[in-house]
C-alpha cells in the first residue's frame, strides 16, 4: 500500500513538474531515450548534449527495469484510471470488450517509427508517443490556452482502452514501452515470489494490468515494477528483490528444485 502511495506521489509530482518546467530556467536537461532515437533517425545527426541528457533514464532503467512506465510516465497515471472506469461500467451493466493483441506490435512500431523517421526526415514518435504528446499539449495549454491535435490521439487511446482493450497502448503498442522493456531486460530490481508462503490465490495476477503472471514468476522484461501485485498479495509472498547477474543461476536452480519437490509431493499424495 505504501509503495502505491509513493508511486502515485511520484507520478503526480512528475505532472506538476511538467507544468512548471517551462517557467524554470534549469541548467540541465533530462530527455527520453525515444526522443534521442527519433532524433538520430529523423535528422541523421548525433547530438552529444542530447545523448548525455538521456543517460540518467537509461541507467535507471538498466538497473530497475521498465520503471519509467510504472512510476514516471504521466500517461500511466491517466491510463490506470481506465480500469476503474471499466469496473464502474460493468457495475452498471455495460460490459466493455477486452481484446488481446500481440505484445510484439510495440517492438514492430519501434522499428517502423525509426524507419519512417529516417525516410520522412521527421520525428515520427513525437506524433504517437503519449508522454511526449502530453508534455507538448500541456505547454500548448499554458502558452496558448488551447490544446492541439495531440489531445485527439490521447483521448482516442483513452476511449479505446475503456471500451475495447484494457491498457492496450502500454501492453501492445507503445514504442516507448518497447524501448523501456529492452533497456531494462537485464534489470537488477525484480519481483520475486516465496513459494513457501504463496497459496496460489491468484490475486496478484488479477491485479496486474499488464496481464503478466507474477504468481508463477513469469513477468520478464514487460513488467514495469509497479508493485500492484505485491499490494494485493499476503505479506512477503511477493516482494521487490535485488538480483545481481551472478546470483541469477543459483536462483533458477533453487526454483527448479522447489518445483520438483512440489511435483513429488503432489505425486505421493
Ligand atoms: S508504455 Fe508508453 S504510455 Fe505506457 S507508461 Fe510506458 S511510456 Fe507511458
Ligand atoms: S507483475 Fe506486478 S509489478 Fe509487474 S507489471 Fe504486473 S502488477 Fe506491476
Q: What is the mean pLDDT of residues 67-85?
A: 94
- Smallest CA-to-CA distance from 117 within 13, 25, 57, 38 is with 38
Q: How far apart are CA 194 and CA 228, in angstroms?
A: 17
Q: Flag whether the pTM goes above 0.85.
A: yes
Stretch among 62-66, 118-122, 212-216, 265-269 having the lowest mean pLDDT: 265-269
Furthest-apart CA pair in the chain: how many Å? 72
**What residues does ligand 2 touch, defined as CB less than 6 Å away?**
191, 207-208, 210, 212, 214, 219, 223-229
Residue 99 has what pLDDT? 97
What are the respective helix, strand and coil percentages of the chain, to the nearest 5?
65, 5, 30
Ligand 1 within 6 A of CB of 177: yes
Residue 143 has what pLDDT? 86
Q: What is the mean pLDDT of residues 146-171?
A: 96
> Would you state the cell numbers that stand for residue 193, as one nine-digit string?
515470489
Nearest ligand for residue 212 CA: 2
Q: What is the mean pLDDT of residues 135-164?
A: 94
Ligand 1 within 6 A of CB of 170: yes
Best residue for ligand 2 mutational test, from 7, 177, 219 (most atoms within 8 Å of Cβ): 219
What does the pLDDT look like over 41-57, one tens digit per residue?
999 999 999 999 999 99
State the pLDDT confidence band at 20, using cuts at 50, 70 and 90. confident
**CATH 3.30.70 domain span(s) along the chain:** 189-268
Ligand 1 within 6 A of CB of 70: no
What does the pLDDT look like over 197-249, one tens digit per residue?
999 999 999 999 999 999 999 999 999 999 999 999 999 899 999 998 888 77
Say yes or no to pLDDT of 265 above 60.
no
Helix (H, G, I), strand (E, B) or coil at 241: strand
**Choices 2.60.40, 1.10.287, 3.30.70, 3.40.50: CATH for 189-268:** 3.30.70
State the pLDDT confidence band at 10, using cuts at 50, 70 and 90. very high
Amino acid at each position: 500500500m505504501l509503495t502505491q502511495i509513493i508511486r502515485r506521489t511520484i507520478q503526480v509530482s512528475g505532472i506538476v513538474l511538467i507544468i512548471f518546467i517551462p517557467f524554470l530556467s534549469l541548467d540541465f536537461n533530462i530527455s527520453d531515450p525515444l526522443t534521442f532515437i527519433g532524433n538520430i533517425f529523423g535528422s541523421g545527426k548525433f547530438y552529444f548534449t542530447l545523448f548525455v541528457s538521456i543517460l540518467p533514464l537509461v541507467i535507471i532503467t538498466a538497473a530497475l527495469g521498465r520503471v519509467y512506465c510504472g512510476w514516471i510516465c504521466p500517461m500511466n497515471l491517466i491510463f490506470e484510471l481506465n480500469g476503474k472506469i471499466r469496473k464502474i461500467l460493468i457495475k452498471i451493466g455495460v460490459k466493455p470488450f477486452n481484446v488481446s493483441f500481440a505484445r510484439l506490435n510495440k517492438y514492430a512500431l519501434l522499428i517502423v517509427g525509426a524507419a519512417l523517421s529516417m525516410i520522412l526526415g521527421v520525428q515520427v514518435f513525437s506524433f504517437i508517443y503519449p508522454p511526449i504528446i502530453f508534455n507538448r499539449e500541456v505547454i500548448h495549454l499554458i502558452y496558448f490556452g488551447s490544446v492541439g491535435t495531440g489531445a485527439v490521439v490521447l483521448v482516442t487511446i483513452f476511449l479505446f482502452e475503456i471500451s475495447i482493450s484494457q491498457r492496450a497502448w502500454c501492453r501492445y503498442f507503445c514504442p516507448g514501452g518497447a524501448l523501456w522493456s529492452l533497456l531494462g531486460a537485464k534489470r537488477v530490481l525484480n519481483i520475486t515470489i516465496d513459494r513457501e508462503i504463496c497459496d496460489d490465490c491468484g490475486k496478484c495476477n488479477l491485479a496486474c494490468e499488464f496481464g503478466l503472471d507474477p504468481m508463477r514468476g513469469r513477468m520478464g522484461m514487460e513488467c514495469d515494477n509497479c508493485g500492484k501485485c505485491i499490494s494485493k498479495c499476503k505479506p512477503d509472498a511477493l516482494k521487490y528483490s535485488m538480483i545481481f547477474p551472478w546470483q541469477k543461476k543459483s536462483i533458477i536452480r533453487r526454483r527448479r528444485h522447489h518445483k520438483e519437490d512440489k511435483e513429488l509431493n503432489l505425486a505421493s499424495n
